Every structure is written in C-alpha cells, then in structure tokens.
Amino acid sequence: MFLGNALISWKKPFIYEVHRLCDGKSFATRRVDAIQKGNMIFTLLASFQKEEEGFDHQEVTMPAVPPPEMLRPMEEVHESFVTNPLLPRTYRNMVVTGKYIPWPIEIRFCEPSTSTYGFKSPPSLRYWLRARDKLSDDQALHRMWFHRSVRADNWIFFVIYSPVANNARGFVSGQMFDRKGELLVSLTQEGLIRKDRSPNPPVTSKL
C-alpha cells in the first residue's frame, strides 16, 4: 500500500525510515516512512513472500489490442496536439512554447483519447508502458498485488477501470499483463477528485 500525505519536492533530500513489522516463516512485512523537512510525506506498507508452489489459474483475459510497436510514442502524440483543431488555440500555443520533457515511463495509448494520463482520473483506459531511467511521482492511496515476477524494462499492458466516484473521491482498479497475456499485477487506487473552485471573475459594470 502506498499513501501520499503531503506535497513532494524532488529538489529536497528524503529520509527513509524502515520499520520491521512482522517476520514469519513465509511472509515478512515492512513499513517505510519517507520524511522531508521533518514532515512524513509518504508511507509504504509492503508484504514479502517466499517463492513456493501452489495452485495456478487465471480467470481474466487480456483484451485484444495492437502491439506497442504499432502505436505512436508520446513524443509524436505531443507534436500532434499542435495541429489538432479540436483543442483550444490557447492550449495549442502552450504546447508550442512549452518545453517537452520525456516521461520517466514510456507510454503508448491503445485508444485515441490521451487527455488523461493518471491512474485515478479516467473511467476506462488502456495503454502499454515500460520504465525509463527515472522515477515518477503520484499522491493517492494505492494497493498493488504482484501475482508474478515483473520486468519493468519490458512492455506491460495496463488496463484501468473506474467503477465509481462520489464524495470528492474517485476509485479505480487496474490490471497489468505481460505480452503473453499473463496477469502480473492487480491494482486499486482511491484519490481525491474535486471540481475546480476558482473564484468567479468580478462583474464589470456596463454603466
């Protein structure tokens, strides 16, 4: 489980405190607290299991999607925003003048809409991803169950589904598959989703 508690600045150093919670014959549990400027900003609860033989089955199947080599990389998608007439001109101008910074994780979307990149926002989303050189950040409550070994430098197919959102909270579940269709990871996340509450512009008198 991952829990973000405060805003994170990657320019400031972190202190990681590891707490030994449990050591059993098959399982071990640790809690890791990340502290920055005296504030605990992140908590990780991790359970580790020794490898052992057991029942093996998989009910879910990976959806039929194009392979990642047939999909456009994010750099090309970013460039297409400039000439997309469906996007506001102000946004297109911002794309032109802004500096494109490659993501720490390479993502290739299987569906046309690329307006949402995060885990907690879309009702449904499918894309391929693999790790680059750096790490990325996110702040919400995550839970992950690793069913099989995962190679982050290989392409992983990520399916996201959001069954409900209410009371300023959105809930999503996800599944990660390898290229053979084996289910690697099951995920859930709950995060805050609030409407924009920017103040209304002042009314100008026409007199």
Bridge partners (DSSP) of residue 176 are: 158, 185
Residue bearing the bigger pLDDT, 127 or 46: 46
pLDDT at position 32: 95
Average pLDDT, the chain: 77
CATH class held by domain 1-50: alpha beta
The CATH code that applies to domain 104-194 is 3.10.129.10
- Average the pLDDT over 26-45 and give the result: 91
Range of lowest pLDDT (23-27, 81-85, 108-112, 121-125): 121-125
pLDDT 10s digits, 151-203: 888 999 999 888 887 887 778 899 999 999 999 999 998 877 766 555 555 55
Residue bearing the bigger pLDDT, 124 or 160: 160
pLDDT at position 186: 96
pLDDT at position 123: 47
| 1-50 shares its CATH topology with 104-194 | yes
DSSP state of 201: P
Residue 73 φ then ψ, to 5°? -70, 165
CB 176 within 8 A of CB 150: yes
Which residues neighbour 144 within 8 Å (Cβ) at sequence distance 6 or greater? 2, 185, 186, 187
Q: Is 7 left (phi over 0), alpha (psi -120 to 50) or beta?
A: beta
DSSP state of 66: -
- Average the pLDDT over 50-71 and give the result: 90
pLDDT at position 167: 83
Residue 122 φ then ψ, to 5°? -85, 155
Q: Is the pLDDT of residue 82 over 90?
A: no
Look up tokens 């003048």; give the residue. 97
Q: Is the pLDDT of residue 44 over 60?
A: yes
Domain coordinates of the chain in residue numbers? 1-50, 69-101, 104-194
Element (H, E) at 187: strand 183-192
Bridge partners (DSSP) of residue 60 are: none
Look up tokens 């001109």; give the residue. 89
Long-range CB contacts (within 8 A, 24+) of 46-53: 50/26, 52/26
Alpha carbon 175 to its chain's center? 12
Q: Band of the pLDDT at 48, cuts 50, 70, 90?
A: very high
Q: Is the pLDDT of residue 36 over 80?
A: yes
